[in-house]
Structure 1
Amino acid sequence: MDTKRREAEASIKDAKKVFRKLGTCSQTYFYLLNRAFGENKKAEERAADPLAGGIMKAGYQCGMLWGASLAVGAEAYRRCEHLSQAIRVAVEATRELMDSFETHESTTQCREITRCDFNNNLSFAKYMLSGRFLHCFRLAQEWAPIAVEKAQKSLDEKPFDFQFAQSCATEVARKMGASNEEMVMVAGFAGGLGLSGSACGALAATIWMNALDWCKKHEAGSPSEDPRAQEIMRSFHVFTDDMMLCKEISQRDFRSVEDHTQYLKNGGCFELIEELSHI
């Protein structure tokens, strides 16, 4: 067994240790799955920090899911010959991870898991003093091998379907100057992460792209320190009249990648994508 494989297996077996070292669940899961795939993307992994706590601590989808989705997107890009195929694989693999996580935890929402409002100091103090934070460490540990297995299976069974596919997250990343690889990394955010209809995937992609730019300029520290992230959140809330959920913004539930692609082709969320890409 080569060194990378041994290190990956050691990390997955002790995900709690990785979590303690890295500090956020989102970076932890990007790291864990990347290592399972034999990859190391420090800047990209660190850029996942602002997605912890359910997007800027807002309590929506668990950061473990955002990090895992970024990792499967990166691997989909490496495995797929065509961009549309990679986008489709990333979205469908993310959907599988969402289903797996919900089966394990009964919810995908950070606030329901933690019972904490991370933007409220009193709530955060209660989260720490009550020991509820230990539940997140246990969850990270328990789901890690399951997540790796689900991700590997979804990617191994990738469809050889080159039909045109789009993701709202990919579109906003493209308009922000992303590489093809970065575009596919965020592809799984589509439709509120794996087409789940929860908090906006285009918003999450914008925050991650901004954080990645910050990480490329700063070798140490967390991009959560960047005030532009809060500016992005404020602008998004103004533009959407405080709506955060994809299903509320789009006024629909997405059944498939094809459904989401058609929605975008018909101009769906065009104004929002334009707004986010120019903040």
Structure 2
Amino acid sequence: MSVVDCSYHNPMVLEESAVAPLAGGLLQNGYQCGILWGAALAAGARAYQLLGPGAYAETQAILVTQKLVEAFRLRNKEINCSDIIGMRWKVSSPRSLAAQVLKFFLRGGPLLCFNMSANFAEAAFREIDRSSTASSAIAPSTPVSCASLLASRMGASDMHAVLAAGFAGGIGLSGGACGALGAAIWIISMDHAKVSGSNPGFADPLALAAVERYLAASDNEFECARVISRQFESAADHAAYIQGGGCAKIIQALSAPA
């Protein structure tokens, strides 16, 4: 996110640092690569920069994020962290984790992730630039994005609601780990950084509590496509679902005071 935003002369230090807990596939749960969460936020930042707040910008962020997911999958074959690096951070025992971490380092995992991030940053910038200027999205009425709605319910600004919009439907409507959950963790991380001046990391009690509330509301399913038993076909399809009360239980659980 940092590389892309700086390319548009729009650095967002707080927002960028708060992406860190999404690394490892959402608090190291192995779902969508942290690079994609950051890229989606960069798409939202560009949409807000060009269009300001509202449904049109949120729709634009979703459409551009769809392109980013496609580009990432084309480059890396997979979008989930655990599939890309061949390991799971959340395992049953410390010994198992140690063995997997050793395997990760022996296979050059850190270098793989660094190179993947550096290479995709340039591709993401090109895709965001091309899609943001070429798209002719027709915005439905609000709310458009589950993640934007959740952000607003948590007291986030209009800008942050647009930034999070691309998380919708499991990032770019891909059906992956819930975008509203990702938005909640990101906002919690930003709030923590505002107070403490530091990033809370992967063990922030408030973020972990949000995950527990989410799982209780989603029947222990992380992935959007499993929660709703299908994948969204378009931004309009997603908007209609949210406007019809879809995922209301999840949004209520995530926006509840800790």
Q: TM-score, normalised by structure 1?
A: 0.85
Task: Provide, for residues 105-132 of structure 1, a one-character-per-residue CA deviation record: whole Å limited to 9, x for no partner.
Answer: 1111111111121234322232123322
Alignment of structure 1 residues 235-254 onto 2, 5 Å = 235-254=213-232
* Aligned residues between the structures: 250
Cα shift at 1:223? 4.1
The equivalent residue for 1:26 is none
Indicate yes or no: 2:210 matched with 1:232: yes
Maintained 8 Å contact 2:55/2:140: yes
Counterpart residue identity of residue 83, structure 1: G
The equivalent residue for 1:159 is 136
Maintained 8 Å contact 1:211/1:224: no
CA distance in 1, matches of 2:222, 2:83: 16
Maintained 8 Å contact 1:85/1:159: no
The equivalent residue for 2:30 is 59
Alignment of structure 1 residues 74-223 onto 2, 5 Å = 74-81=45-52, 83-120=54-91, 121-122=97-98, 123-159=100-136, 161-165=138-142, 166-223=144-201
Maintained 8 Å contact 1:90/1:184: yes
Maintained 8 Å contact 2:53/2:159: no
Aligned-pair identity in percent equals: 34
CA distance in 1, matches of 2:53, 2:191: 26
The equivalent residue for 1:69 is 40
Runs of 4+ residues over 6 Å off in structure 1: none
CA distance in 2, matches of 1:221, 1:86: 28
Q: TM-score, normalised by structure 2?
A: 0.92
Cα shift at 1:82? 5.4
Maintained 8 Å contact 1:46/1:222: no
Maintained 8 Å contact 1:214/1:223: no
Counterpart residue identity of residue 259, structure 1: D
Deviates most, 102-111 or 152-161: 152-161
CA distance in 2, matches of 1:202, 1:82: 18
Cα shift at 1:226? 2.1
Deviates most, 217-226 or 90-99: 217-226
Unaligned runs of 5+ in 2: 92-96
Maintained 8 Å contact 2:72/2:120: yes
CA distance in 1, matches of 2:61, 2:47: 6
Counterpart residue identity of residue 238, structure 2: H
Indicate yes or no: 2:248 matched with 1:277: no
Task: Provide, for residues 62-121 of structure 1, a one-character-per-residue CA deviation record: whole Å limited to 9, x for no partner.
Answer: 100000111110110111155111001100010000000001111111111111212343
CA distance in 2, matches of 1:33, 1:79: 15
CA RMSD of aligned residues (A): 1.5
Q: Higher relative contact order at CA 8 Å, sep ≥6: structure 1 or structure 2?
A: 2
CA distance in 2, matches of 1:236, 1:103: 31
CA distance in 2, matches of 1:42, 1:214: 14
CA distance in 1, matches of 2:52, 2:106: 50
